[in-house]
Amino acid sequence: MQWAGNGGVVGPVSVSVVSHGHGALVEVLLRELATHCAEEVSQVLLTLNLAEPALQHFVASTDWPFQITVLENRAPRSFSSNHNQAFARVSTPLFCVMNPDLRLGCNPFPALRSALSEARAGCAYPVQLDENAQRQDFERALPTPLSLFRRVCLGRKQSDGADWVNGAFMLFKAEVYRGLGGFDERYRLYCEDVDICIRLQLQGYRLRCAQVDVVHLAQRATGRRLRHLIWHVQSMFRLWCSAPYWRFLYR
């Protein structure tokens, strides 16, 4: 299903957002994209991992300055699979992965596009703040068993590099994302962002942080739900056993 607004200047960015029953958060994010980013965004691909009639009605009954394509899953799919499915419908030169729990106080795309214009840049991302305007640890060094122990057991956050950035907000050159084959769908949840960042860099591209802020209302489900903790542990071991991880570690 597709709805297009009347008027508004469309742009070269396709945005992928996945909702897992996050209708209220998505509604706010869509309104902020329409308010701040209408000149940059030409398409929003909204994936419903669960049935959300109220969100569908909201999208269909609102006038938008960009096209919205709603993808309805018959059964829940993974983070990687959902965004790869959305990317299959993208024809713009830029592809943006966004969490529904983001808040935009301005248009971040000019700064992100500027960051992507730097030599060999393949992915750009904004500075993520929490609701108290405190900087989050959205970019980190490559996770190792020792660094994970220090982080989880000793409470020591990594601050010695930006080998990867979390998947809450990532702007890719579409040709780079396509060349990488998108997110690795063998990761059910967690570490797919680590994996794509290291594969991107192994192909000679760079991650670039744009000097623009967004607010990320991070859910941190790992610490509250047993199944998320299990998925996280499984993903960590898959990452540590992967060829890209070891090539990146000893590059």
The DSSP secondary-structure symbol of 141 reads P
Query: In sequence order, which residues have a C-beta less than 8 Å from that of residue 201 and are 6 or more positions away?
Result: 163, 207, 248
Mean pLDDT estimate for the chain:
90
Nearest Cα neighbor of 76 from 16, 20, 15, 17 is: 20
Query: Which residue is listed with tokens 């597709």?
Result: 2
Specify the DSSP element, H or E, that contains 124. Answer: strand 121-129
Specify the pLDDT at position 149.
59
CA-atom Rg of the chain in angstroms = 18
Is-contact 164 192, C-beta < 8 A? no
pLDDT tens digits for 35-75?
Answer: 999 999 999 999 999 999 999 999 999 999 999 999 999 99
Nearest Cα neighbor of 94 from 205, 19, 176, 26 is: 176
* Amino acid found at 229: L
pLDDT tens digits for 87-128?
Answer: 999 999 999 999 999 999 999 999 999 999 999 999 999 999
Specify the pLDDT at position 145.
84
Please report which residue ranges of 158-225 form alpha helices under DSSP H. Answer: 174-180, 192-202
pLDDT at 235 over 80: yes
Specify the pLDDT at position 42.
96
pLDDT at 159 over 90: no
Diameter of the chain measured on Cα atoms: 54
Specify the DSSP element, H or E, that contains 97. Answer: strand 94-98
pTM of the model: 0.90
Give the span between the Cα atoms of 129 and 133, in whole angstroms.
5
pLDDT band at 146 (very low <50, low <70, confident <90, very high): confident
Query: In sequence order, which residues have a C-beta less than 8 Å from that of residue 227 and are 6 or more positions away?
Result: none
Give the span between the Cα atoms of 143 and 98, in whole angstroms.
23
Is-contact 198 150, C-beta < 8 A? no
Give the span between the Cα atoms of 59 and 17, in whole angstroms.
13
pLDDT at 5 over 80: no
Count Cα atoms within 13 angstroms, Cβ side, for 224: 4
